[in-house]
Amino acid sequence: MLDKLEAIKDRFDQVAEELTRPEAMADMKRFSKLNKEYKDLDKIVQRYLVYKNLLGNQDEARQVLESEKDPDFREMAKVELDELAGKIEALEAEITELLIPKDPNDSKNAILEIRAGAGGDEASIFAGDLFRMYSRFAETQGWRFQVMDAMDGTSGGYKEITIEVSGEDVYGKMKYESGVHRVQRVPATETQGRIHTSAATVAVLPEMDEVEVEINMNDVRKDLFCSSGPGGQSVNTTYSAVRLTHIPSGIVVSMQDEKSQHKNFDKALKVLRSRLYERELERHNAEVGAARKAMVGSGDRSEKIRTYNYPQSRVTDHRIGLTVYNLPTVMDGDIGQFIEQLRVTENAERLKEGVGAE
Protein backbone atom coordinates (compact mmCIF):
# COMPACT_ATOMS: atom_id res chain seq x y z
CA MET A 1 0.00 0.00 0.00
CA LEU A 2 2.93 2.34 0.70
CA ASP A 3 4.06 2.22 -2.95
CA LYS A 4 0.53 3.10 -4.10
CA LEU A 5 0.31 5.97 -1.61
CA GLU A 6 3.71 7.30 -2.64
CA ALA A 7 2.58 7.28 -6.28
CA ILE A 8 -0.55 9.22 -5.28
CA LYS A 9 1.65 11.73 -3.42
CA ASP A 10 3.78 12.17 -6.57
CA ARG A 11 0.65 12.76 -8.67
CA PHE A 12 -0.65 15.22 -6.06
CA ASP A 13 2.57 17.25 -6.28
CA GLN A 14 2.39 17.15 -10.08
CA VAL A 15 -1.22 18.41 -10.12
CA ALA A 16 -0.36 21.17 -7.62
CA GLU A 17 2.41 22.34 -9.95
CA GLU A 18 0.19 22.17 -13.06
CA LEU A 19 -2.46 24.31 -11.35
CA THR A 20 0.02 27.19 -11.08
CA ARG A 21 0.83 27.19 -14.79
CA PRO A 22 -0.71 29.96 -16.93
CA GLU A 23 -1.84 27.54 -19.64
CA ALA A 24 -3.89 25.56 -17.10
CA MET A 25 -5.54 28.71 -15.74
CA ALA A 26 -6.33 29.85 -19.29
CA ASP A 27 -8.29 26.65 -20.01
CA MET A 28 -11.30 26.69 -17.67
CA LYS A 29 -12.32 23.13 -18.43
CA ARG A 30 -8.84 21.79 -17.73
CA PHE A 31 -8.39 23.97 -14.64
CA SER A 32 -11.71 22.75 -13.20
CA LYS A 33 -10.72 19.12 -13.77
CA LEU A 34 -7.27 19.60 -12.21
CA ASN A 35 -8.70 21.46 -9.23
CA LYS A 36 -11.15 18.64 -8.52
CA GLU A 37 -8.38 16.03 -8.80
CA TYR A 38 -6.24 18.10 -6.42
CA LYS A 39 -9.00 18.17 -3.78
CA ASP A 40 -9.66 14.44 -4.12
CA LEU A 41 -5.97 13.53 -3.85
CA ASP A 42 -5.43 15.94 -0.95
CA LYS A 43 -7.74 13.88 1.31
CA ILE A 44 -5.62 10.76 0.69
CA VAL A 45 -2.26 12.53 0.91
CA GLN A 46 -3.05 14.13 4.28
CA ARG A 47 -3.92 10.73 5.77
CA TYR A 48 -0.84 9.19 4.12
CA LEU A 49 1.46 11.73 5.79
CA VAL A 50 -0.05 10.93 9.19
CA TYR A 51 0.25 7.19 8.42
CA LYS A 52 3.90 7.56 7.38
CA ASN A 53 4.66 9.44 10.61
CA LEU A 54 3.00 6.72 12.72
CA LEU A 55 5.02 4.01 10.95
CA GLY A 56 8.21 5.98 11.70
CA ASN A 57 7.26 6.20 15.39
CA GLN A 58 6.53 2.46 15.37
CA ASP A 59 10.01 1.68 14.01
CA GLU A 60 11.62 3.87 16.67
CA ALA A 61 9.65 2.18 19.47
CA ARG A 62 10.69 -1.25 18.16
CA GLN A 63 14.35 -0.20 18.10
CA VAL A 64 14.08 0.95 21.72
CA LEU A 65 12.51 -2.37 22.69
CA GLU A 66 15.29 -4.32 20.96
CA SER A 67 18.26 -2.28 22.15
CA GLU A 68 17.24 -0.85 25.54
CA LYS A 69 18.18 -2.74 28.72
CA ASP A 70 16.35 -0.51 31.20
CA PRO A 71 13.02 -2.22 32.10
CA ASP A 72 11.20 1.12 32.51
CA PHE A 73 12.16 2.27 29.02
CA ARG A 74 11.24 -1.13 27.60
CA GLU A 75 7.82 -0.96 29.27
CA MET A 76 7.24 2.55 27.87
CA ALA A 77 8.15 1.28 24.41
CA LYS A 78 5.70 -1.62 24.74
CA VAL A 79 2.87 0.73 25.75
CA GLU A 80 3.68 3.04 22.86
CA LEU A 81 3.74 0.11 20.40
CA ASP A 82 0.30 -1.02 21.57
CA GLU A 83 -1.12 2.49 21.14
CA LEU A 84 0.49 2.91 17.73
CA ALA A 85 -0.80 -0.47 16.53
CA GLY A 86 -4.39 0.62 17.23
CA LYS A 87 -3.93 3.96 15.50
CA ILE A 88 -2.22 2.40 12.47
CA GLU A 89 -4.92 -0.25 12.09
CA ALA A 90 -7.69 2.39 12.20
CA LEU A 91 -5.84 4.63 9.74
CA GLU A 92 -5.19 1.73 7.34
CA ALA A 93 -8.94 1.01 7.27
CA GLU A 94 -9.64 4.69 6.61
CA ILE A 95 -7.06 4.89 3.82
CA THR A 96 -8.34 1.65 2.25
CA GLU A 97 -11.79 3.20 2.03
CA LEU A 98 -10.35 6.39 0.52
CA LEU A 99 -8.60 4.29 -2.13
CA ILE A 100 -11.85 2.66 -3.27
CA PRO A 101 -12.77 4.09 -6.71
CA LYS A 102 -15.22 6.91 -6.08
CA ASP A 103 -18.16 8.13 -8.08
CA PRO A 104 -16.68 11.35 -9.55
CA ASN A 105 -19.99 13.10 -8.87
CA ASP A 106 -20.07 12.43 -5.11
CA SER A 107 -18.72 15.87 -4.21
CA LYS A 108 -21.28 17.71 -6.35
CA ASN A 109 -24.43 19.55 -5.34
CA ALA A 110 -27.68 17.82 -6.29
CA ILE A 111 -31.04 18.45 -7.93
CA LEU A 112 -33.70 16.67 -5.86
CA GLU A 113 -37.01 15.90 -7.57
CA ILE A 114 -39.96 14.45 -5.62
CA ARG A 115 -43.13 13.41 -7.49
CA ALA A 116 -46.40 11.99 -6.21
CA GLY A 117 -47.01 8.52 -7.62
CA ALA A 118 -49.90 6.09 -7.23
CA GLY A 119 -52.36 7.03 -4.50
CA GLY A 120 -54.01 10.29 -5.53
CA ASP A 121 -54.15 13.03 -2.88
CA GLU A 122 -52.49 10.78 -0.31
CA ALA A 123 -49.47 10.38 -2.61
CA SER A 124 -49.15 14.17 -2.86
CA ILE A 125 -49.34 14.48 0.93
CA PHE A 126 -46.63 11.82 1.25
CA ALA A 127 -44.47 13.69 -1.27
CA GLY A 128 -44.79 16.68 1.07
CA ASP A 129 -43.73 14.48 4.00
CA LEU A 130 -40.63 13.37 2.08
CA PHE A 131 -39.84 17.01 1.25
CA ARG A 132 -39.93 17.84 4.97
CA MET A 133 -37.81 14.76 5.81
CA TYR A 134 -35.11 15.78 3.35
CA SER A 135 -35.18 19.44 4.40
CA ARG A 136 -34.62 18.38 8.04
CA PHE A 137 -31.81 16.04 7.01
CA ALA A 138 -30.21 18.87 5.00
CA GLU A 139 -30.30 21.06 8.12
CA THR A 140 -28.36 18.45 10.10
CA GLN A 141 -25.73 18.34 7.34
CA GLY A 142 -25.38 22.11 7.13
CA TRP A 143 -26.60 22.10 3.52
CA ARG A 144 -28.53 24.79 1.66
CA PHE A 145 -32.00 23.56 0.64
CA GLN A 146 -33.68 25.79 -1.94
CA VAL A 147 -36.98 25.10 -3.74
CA MET A 148 -36.59 25.66 -7.47
CA ASP A 149 -40.13 24.83 -8.58
CA ALA A 150 -43.24 23.25 -7.06
CA MET A 151 -46.74 22.13 -8.00
CA ASP A 152 -49.01 21.89 -4.96
CA GLY A 153 -51.30 18.94 -4.35
CA THR A 154 -55.05 19.64 -4.15
CA SER A 155 -55.25 18.40 -0.52
CA GLY A 156 -51.77 19.33 0.65
CA GLY A 157 -48.25 18.26 -0.15
CA TYR A 158 -46.94 18.37 -3.70
CA LYS A 159 -47.71 16.79 -7.03
CA GLU A 160 -44.08 17.48 -7.77
CA ILE A 161 -41.32 19.63 -6.35
CA THR A 162 -37.76 20.36 -7.45
CA ILE A 163 -35.07 21.40 -4.95
CA GLU A 164 -31.45 22.46 -5.31
CA VAL A 165 -29.33 21.04 -2.47
CA SER A 166 -25.92 22.65 -1.99
CA GLY A 167 -23.10 21.77 0.37
CA GLU A 168 -20.33 19.26 0.99
CA ASP A 169 -20.68 15.80 -0.61
CA VAL A 170 -24.41 16.29 -1.22
CA TYR A 171 -24.77 13.92 -4.16
CA GLY A 172 -22.52 11.33 -2.50
CA LYS A 173 -25.06 10.98 0.31
CA MET A 174 -28.35 11.81 -1.38
CA LYS A 175 -27.86 9.55 -4.43
CA TYR A 176 -29.07 6.55 -2.43
CA GLU A 177 -32.53 8.12 -2.12
CA SER A 178 -33.39 7.73 -5.83
CA GLY A 179 -36.26 5.33 -6.41
CA VAL A 180 -39.83 4.62 -5.32
CA HIS A 181 -40.75 5.34 -1.69
CA ARG A 182 -43.90 3.55 -0.49
CA VAL A 183 -46.11 4.59 2.44
CA GLN A 184 -48.69 2.45 4.26
CA ARG A 185 -51.09 4.34 6.53
CA VAL A 186 -54.68 5.40 7.11
CA PRO A 187 -55.29 8.62 5.11
CA ALA A 188 -57.00 11.53 6.85
CA THR A 189 -59.84 11.23 4.32
CA GLU A 190 -60.42 7.51 5.07
CA THR A 191 -63.60 7.09 7.15
CA GLN A 192 -63.42 3.29 7.53
CA GLY A 193 -59.94 3.24 9.05
CA ARG A 194 -58.46 1.22 6.20
CA ILE A 195 -54.75 1.27 5.50
CA HIS A 196 -53.87 2.59 2.05
CA THR A 197 -50.63 2.15 0.13
CA SER A 198 -49.35 5.15 -1.79
CA ALA A 199 -46.04 6.02 -3.39
CA ALA A 200 -43.80 8.89 -4.36
CA THR A 201 -40.83 8.87 -6.71
CA VAL A 202 -37.55 10.50 -5.76
CA ALA A 203 -34.83 11.37 -8.26
CA VAL A 204 -31.44 12.73 -7.20
CA LEU A 205 -29.36 14.20 -10.03
CA PRO A 206 -25.79 15.51 -9.75
CA GLU A 207 -25.71 19.20 -10.56
CA MET A 208 -23.58 19.65 -13.65
CA ASP A 209 -21.92 22.86 -14.75
CA GLU A 210 -21.37 24.22 -18.23
CA VAL A 211 -17.85 22.85 -18.68
CA GLU A 212 -19.09 19.31 -17.91
CA VAL A 213 -22.29 19.20 -19.96
CA GLU A 214 -22.42 21.45 -22.98
CA ILE A 215 -25.84 22.18 -24.46
CA ASN A 216 -26.25 23.40 -28.00
CA MET A 217 -28.91 26.11 -27.53
CA ASN A 218 -29.98 25.57 -31.16
CA ASP A 219 -31.39 22.25 -29.92
CA VAL A 220 -33.46 23.93 -27.19
CA ARG A 221 -36.88 25.52 -27.70
CA LYS A 222 -37.72 28.22 -25.17
CA ASP A 223 -41.37 28.98 -24.39
CA LEU A 224 -42.59 31.68 -22.02
CA PHE A 225 -45.87 31.65 -20.09
CA CYS A 226 -47.53 33.22 -17.04
CA SER A 227 -46.87 31.58 -13.68
CA SER A 228 -49.83 29.79 -12.16
CA GLY A 229 -50.69 28.65 -8.66
CA PRO A 230 -52.85 25.82 -7.26
CA GLY A 231 -55.91 25.17 -9.38
CA GLY A 232 -54.36 26.95 -12.34
CA GLN A 233 -55.14 30.50 -11.21
CA SER A 234 -52.83 33.17 -12.57
CA VAL A 235 -50.14 34.32 -10.17
CA ASN A 236 -48.81 37.13 -12.32
CA THR A 237 -49.59 38.65 -15.69
CA THR A 238 -46.02 38.76 -17.01
CA TYR A 239 -44.45 35.97 -19.02
CA SER A 240 -41.85 35.09 -16.38
CA ALA A 241 -42.29 31.31 -16.37
CA VAL A 242 -39.98 29.38 -18.68
CA ARG A 243 -40.33 26.03 -20.43
CA LEU A 244 -37.28 24.52 -22.12
CA THR A 245 -37.65 21.62 -24.56
CA HIS A 246 -34.51 19.77 -25.59
CA ILE A 247 -35.57 18.65 -29.05
CA PRO A 248 -33.11 15.75 -29.62
CA SER A 249 -33.98 14.02 -26.31
CA GLY A 250 -37.54 15.25 -25.80
CA ILE A 251 -36.73 16.35 -22.22
CA VAL A 252 -38.97 19.19 -21.03
CA VAL A 253 -38.19 21.39 -18.01
CA SER A 254 -40.55 24.08 -16.70
CA MET A 255 -39.62 26.66 -14.07
CA GLN A 256 -41.91 29.32 -12.60
CA ASP A 257 -40.81 29.77 -9.00
CA GLU A 258 -39.02 33.09 -9.56
CA LYS A 259 -40.66 36.34 -10.67
CA SER A 260 -37.71 36.97 -12.96
CA GLN A 261 -37.74 35.29 -16.38
CA HIS A 262 -33.94 35.33 -16.40
CA LYS A 263 -33.71 33.49 -13.05
CA ASN A 264 -36.28 30.91 -14.14
CA PHE A 265 -34.33 30.35 -17.35
CA ASP A 266 -31.06 29.81 -15.44
CA LYS A 267 -32.74 27.33 -13.08
CA ALA A 268 -34.41 25.44 -15.93
CA LEU A 269 -31.10 25.21 -17.78
CA LYS A 270 -29.43 23.84 -14.65
CA VAL A 271 -32.06 21.09 -14.32
CA LEU A 272 -31.93 20.32 -18.05
CA ARG A 273 -28.18 19.92 -17.86
CA SER A 274 -28.50 17.45 -14.97
CA ARG A 275 -31.24 15.44 -16.69
CA LEU A 276 -29.22 15.19 -19.88
CA TYR A 277 -26.27 13.92 -17.87
CA GLU A 278 -28.49 11.39 -16.09
CA ARG A 279 -29.80 10.10 -19.43
CA GLU A 280 -26.28 9.64 -20.75
CA LEU A 281 -25.28 7.92 -17.49
CA GLU A 282 -28.23 5.52 -17.76
CA ARG A 283 -27.19 4.66 -21.32
CA HIS A 284 -23.63 4.01 -20.13
CA ASN A 285 -24.79 1.88 -17.19
CA ALA A 286 -26.97 -0.20 -19.50
CA GLU A 287 -23.85 -0.97 -21.53
CA VAL A 288 -21.86 -1.84 -18.41
CA GLY A 289 -24.57 -4.34 -17.50
CA ALA A 290 -24.92 -6.55 -14.45
CA ALA A 291 -21.97 -5.10 -12.53
CA ARG A 292 -23.75 -1.81 -12.10
CA LYS A 293 -27.03 -3.49 -11.16
CA ALA A 294 -25.34 -4.90 -8.08
CA MET A 295 -24.75 -1.38 -6.81
CA VAL A 296 -27.12 -0.16 -4.13
CA GLY A 297 -26.82 3.36 -5.50
CA SER A 298 -28.11 2.49 -8.94
CA GLY A 299 -30.70 5.27 -8.78
CA ASP A 300 -33.32 3.32 -10.70
CA ARG A 301 -36.50 5.38 -10.37
CA SER A 302 -38.75 2.35 -10.93
CA GLU A 303 -37.22 0.36 -8.08
CA LYS A 304 -39.12 0.24 -4.77
CA ILE A 305 -36.40 1.11 -2.31
CA ARG A 306 -38.12 1.88 1.00
CA THR A 307 -41.43 1.34 2.80
CA TYR A 308 -42.78 3.60 5.56
CA ASN A 309 -45.41 1.69 7.60
CA TYR A 310 -47.20 4.07 9.99
CA PRO A 311 -49.33 1.55 11.99
CA GLN A 312 -46.19 -0.38 12.99
CA SER A 313 -43.91 2.71 13.11
CA ARG A 314 -41.67 0.70 10.79
CA VAL A 315 -39.30 1.80 8.02
CA THR A 316 -37.68 -0.85 5.81
CA ASP A 317 -34.99 -0.32 3.20
CA HIS A 318 -35.45 -3.21 0.78
CA ARG A 319 -32.01 -2.96 -0.82
CA ILE A 320 -30.08 -3.84 2.33
CA GLY A 321 -32.85 -5.44 4.41
CA LEU A 322 -32.55 -2.83 7.16
CA THR A 323 -35.68 -2.28 9.28
CA VAL A 324 -36.07 0.25 12.10
CA TYR A 325 -39.04 0.96 14.35
CA ASN A 326 -38.66 4.70 14.85
CA LEU A 327 -40.69 6.09 11.94
CA PRO A 328 -41.42 9.52 13.57
CA THR A 329 -37.70 10.30 13.95
CA VAL A 330 -36.97 9.07 10.40
CA MET A 331 -39.67 11.36 9.01
CA ASP A 332 -38.07 14.15 11.04
CA GLY A 333 -34.89 13.75 9.00
CA ASP A 334 -33.04 10.95 10.78
CA ILE A 335 -32.08 8.99 7.63
CA GLY A 336 -28.34 8.98 8.22
CA GLN A 337 -28.36 5.35 9.41
CA PHE A 338 -29.81 4.20 6.07
CA ILE A 339 -27.37 6.28 4.04
CA GLU A 340 -24.37 5.06 6.04
CA GLN A 341 -25.35 1.37 5.66
CA LEU A 342 -25.96 1.86 1.93
CA ARG A 343 -22.60 3.59 1.58
CA VAL A 344 -20.82 0.75 3.41
CA THR A 345 -22.56 -1.83 1.20
CA GLU A 346 -21.66 0.00 -1.98
CA ASN A 347 -18.04 0.44 -0.86
CA ALA A 348 -17.85 -3.31 -0.19
CA GLU A 349 -19.12 -3.91 -3.75
CA ARG A 350 -16.58 -1.48 -5.17
CA LEU A 351 -13.79 -3.07 -3.12
CA LYS A 352 -14.68 -6.53 -4.47
CA GLU A 353 -14.69 -5.11 -8.00
CA GLY A 354 -11.26 -3.59 -7.37
CA VAL A 355 -9.84 -6.86 -6.03
CA GLY A 356 -11.35 -8.74 -8.97
CA ALA A 357 -9.80 -6.29 -11.40
CA GLU A 358 -6.37 -6.81 -9.92
Residues 166-194: tens digit of each pLDDT:
998 899 999 999 999 999 999 876 767 78
Whether 158 and 127 have beta carbons less than 8 Å apart is answered as yes
Range of the domain at 292: 110-349
Q: Same domain, yes or no, for 95 and 116?
A: no
Strand 241-246, strand 144-152: pairing: unpaired
Q: Is the pLDDT of residue 20 over 50?
A: yes
Residues 228-284: tens digit of each pLDDT:
654 444 455 567 788 899 998 888 888 887 777 888 888 888 888 888 888 877 775
- Whether the model pTM is above 0.85: no
Q: Is the pLDDT of residue 128 over 90?
A: yes
Q: What is the CATH number of the domain that holds 269?
A: 3.30.70.1660
13: in domain:
yes
Which domain-ending residue is among 99, 132, 162?
A: 99
Residues 136-158: tens digit of each pLDDT:
999 999 999 999 888 899 889 99
Q: How many domains does the structure of the chain reveal?
A: 2
Say what the pLDDT of residue 291 is: 41
Which domain-ending residue is among 99, 130, 146?
A: 99
Q: What is the CATH number of the domain that holds 52?
A: 1.20.58
Which domain-ending residue is among 61, 80, 99?
A: 99
Q: Same domain, yes or no, for 309 and 197?
A: yes
Say what the pLDDT of residue 125 is: 94
* % of the chain residues with pLDDT over 70: 86
Torsion angles phi and psi, residue 181, rounded to 5: -105, 125
356: in domain:
no
355: in domain:
no
DSSP string, 80-130: HHHHHHHHHHHHHHHHHHHHSPPPTTTTS-EEEEEEE-SSTHHHHHHHHHH
Roughly what angle, to the nearest 10 degrees, separates helices 2-19 and 28-67? Answer: 140
Q: Same domain, yes or no, for 251 and 193?
A: yes
Q: Same domain, yes or no, for 243 and 325?
A: yes
Question: How far is 102 from 98, CA to CA, in rounded Å?
Answer: 8
Q: How far apart are the first and last CA of the chain?
A: 14
Q: Same domain, yes or no, for 137 and 12?
A: no
221: in domain:
yes
Question: How far is 128 from 156, CA to CA, in rounded Å?
Answer: 7
Q: Same domain, yes or no, for 271 and 309?
A: yes
75: in domain:
yes
